[in-house]
Structures are given as C-alpha cells and as structure tokens.
Amino acid sequence: GAGVSQSPSNKVTEKGKDVELRCDPISGHTALYWYRQSLGQGLEFLIYFQGNSAPDKSGLPSDRFSAERTGGSVSTLTIQRTQQEDSAVYLCASSPEQGDQPQHFGDGTRLSIL
Amino acid sequence: QKEVEQNSGPLSVPEGAIASLNCTYSDRGSQSFFWYRQYSGKSPELIMFIYSNGDKEDGRFTAQLNKASQYVSLLIRDSQPSDSATYLCAVRTGGSYIPTFGRGTSLIVHP
C-alpha cells in the first residue's frame, strides 16, 4: 500500500481481556517497529523486526506483550490480560533495510482499557 | 545511555516569523538525524532528515547539523498557524536501526 496501515484505529476493551493490534508496513520495507505513546508523553520503543525476526525486543514492558511478523510483512502486537496502564496509542513504523532511511509511521491504534 | 534532549516548550512565535527548534544528543557515534511533526491526536510525520554537517533546505524548512557540538536544529521560515504542532527529533547511531526520539518541542504559531 501507499503507507503504513494499522488496525483497528480504536479499540476499547475490558481489563483482563487480550487484544491484537495489526500493522501492514509499506510494501518492500523490511524493517518494522512498534512504539507506544501515552497521552502527552514521548514515543516508547517496544520492538523492532528485520524481516520475520526480532533482533531487539528490549522495549516490551512485560511478558504480557508479544509480537510476531509473518512473511516479512504484516505484524501483530498482542497484549494479554490487559491492564489500565496499557491504555495508550500504539504506533507502527516501517523503513527500508538498505541505507539509512527514515521511518514512516502509521496512524496508530488508540487502545482504551476500561 | 543514548539521550536526545529537546526543550518541551511551548515555543510561541508570531505568524511570518522564523521558528527555531533545537535538539542535542549525547552519542558521538550518531550518524542520522530526523525531524518529525506530530499534530495533536495524530501520528508523527517525517519532515526532514540530514546526515552531513551543514544545512539542508526543503521549502520553508531547513535542518542544520553540527556534529562537533552535537546538536541538530530545524528552522521554519514564514511560520504559519498550520505549523503549530509538536516537533520530534530522532537520532540514529551508525550500525543501529533503532533511532532514539526526543520528547518533542511544542510549537505555537499565533496569527
């Protein structure tokens, strides 16, 4: 597609439920990133994919968070047993592997935990 | 620990003025520098990137990089109310694919 696509755009769920957030990167981009941004805060790095592998998952805040990427394209971020502090905007970005190219962000998923 | 520092602002400038946004970084190995604009409730949008010392111009925007002093600036000429947003600086070290983001500077351009 023309840009990074994320779905859903908004998600409201009850505490304790599991959620899945999806990211479809720009075609041909091998690098994919997940970030979290709480209201009025900066970007918090979660995980980085190069192809299907995740060389850096150091930002995942707990073992309730996991992510996978299949076929070197679409990625899914899963949050199990959601807590209220998980409420934030989850942003996905992608970039080409070659060279030192900038990231391009999707519109994000606004997650609200009741 | 890699650090990227930005003044949170808000920086308030009148319409038509030059807005100057600054960013300092701690890692001398940094090689790539990016500026993003983020409107309230929206995702970051790439404005410019710069790799070499000096100035890079794109329309009303100029990025300035000084590696010796470890700062990168973004100048916005003829500022417009539509430029009101938070501007994020991101810095990437050579060999790393993961940039470090500053917390952003809020810019307000008033008519």
Lowest mean pLDDT among A73-82, B13-22, B85-94: B85-94
Whether the upstream peptide bond of residue B10 has omega within 30° of 0, thus cis, is yes
Contacts of B99 in chain A (CB under 8 A): 103
**Contact: B34, A102; criterion CB under 8 Å:** yes
Give residues with Cβ within 8 angstroms of B96, minimum separation 6: none
Provide the pairing of β-strand A75-79 with A65-69: antiparallel
Q: Which residues on neighbouring strands pair with residue A91, listed in sequence order?
A: A35
Q: What is the pLDDT of residue A51?
A: 87
Residues in B closer than 8 angstroms to A50, CB to CB, are 97
Residue-wise pLDDT for B48-84, tens only, equals 999 989 999 999 999 999 999 999 999 999 999 999 9
Q: If you count residue pairs, one on A and one on B, with CB atoms under 8 Å apart, how many are there?
A: 42
Q: Cβ contacts (< 8 Å) between A43 and chain B: which residues?
A: 44, 88, 101
**pLDDT score recorded for residue A52:** 86
Q: How far apart are CA B11 and CA A67, in angstroms?
A: 38
The DSSP H or E segment spanning B23 is strand B19-25
End-to-end CA distance of chain B: give it in Å, rounded. 41
B91, two tokens: 């810095």
Query: What pLDDT is attached to residue A31?
Result: 92
Give me the pLDDT at residue A1, please.
52
Please give, rounded to a whole number of angstroms, the shortest distance from the CA of A104 to a CA of chain B: 7
Give B26's DSSP letter.
S
Q: How confident is the model at residue B95 (pLDDT cuts 50, 70, 90)?
A: confident
Residue B23, pLDDT > 70, answer: yes
- Phi, then psi, of B22 in degrees rounded to 5: -120, 155
pLDDT, residue B39, reads 97
Q: Which helix (H) or strand (E) holds B47?
A: strand B45-50
pLDDT at residue A99 greater than cutoff 70: no
> How confident is the model over A16-36, as a mean pLDDT?
96
User: Of B43, B45, B88, which is closest to A108 when you measure between CB atoms?
Assistant: B43
What phi, psi does B65 have (nearest 5°)?
-125, 130
Provide the chain A residues 79-98 that lie in CB contact (below 8 A) with chain B. Answer: 89, 91, 95
Q: Is the distance from CB of B5 to CB of B72 less than 8 angstroms?
A: no
Q: pLDDT tens digit string along A29-87?
A: 999 999 999 988 899 999 999 888 888 888 999 999 999 998 889 999 999 999 999 99
Across the interface, of A50, A91, A105, the residue whose CB is closest to B97 is A50
Q: In the predicted model, is pLDDT for residue A98 greater than 60?
A: no
* Cα–Cα distance, B3 to A69 (Å, whole number): 29
E strand map for chain A: 5-7, 10-13, 19-24, 31-37, 44-50, 53-56, 65-69, 75-79, 88-95, 104-105, 109-113
Contact B104 A33 (CB under 8 A): no
Q: How far is B4 from chain A (nearest CA, A)?
A: 11
Of all residues in chain B, the one with the smallest CA distance to A109 is: B43
Q: Do residue B49 and residue A102 have CB atoms under 8 angstroms apart?
A: yes
- Chain B: residue whose CA lies nearest to A3: B45
A7 near B CB under 8 A: no
Residue B48 has a pLDDT of 95
Nearest to B44 by CA among B3, B103, B1: B103
Per the prediction, chain B carries an average pLDDT of 94
Residues B25, B70 contacting (CB under 8 angstroms): yes
From the list B14, B20, B10, B8, the residue with the least C-alpha distance to B75 is B20
More confident: A28 or A6: A6
| Count of C-beta atoms within a 10 Å radius of residue A72 | 16
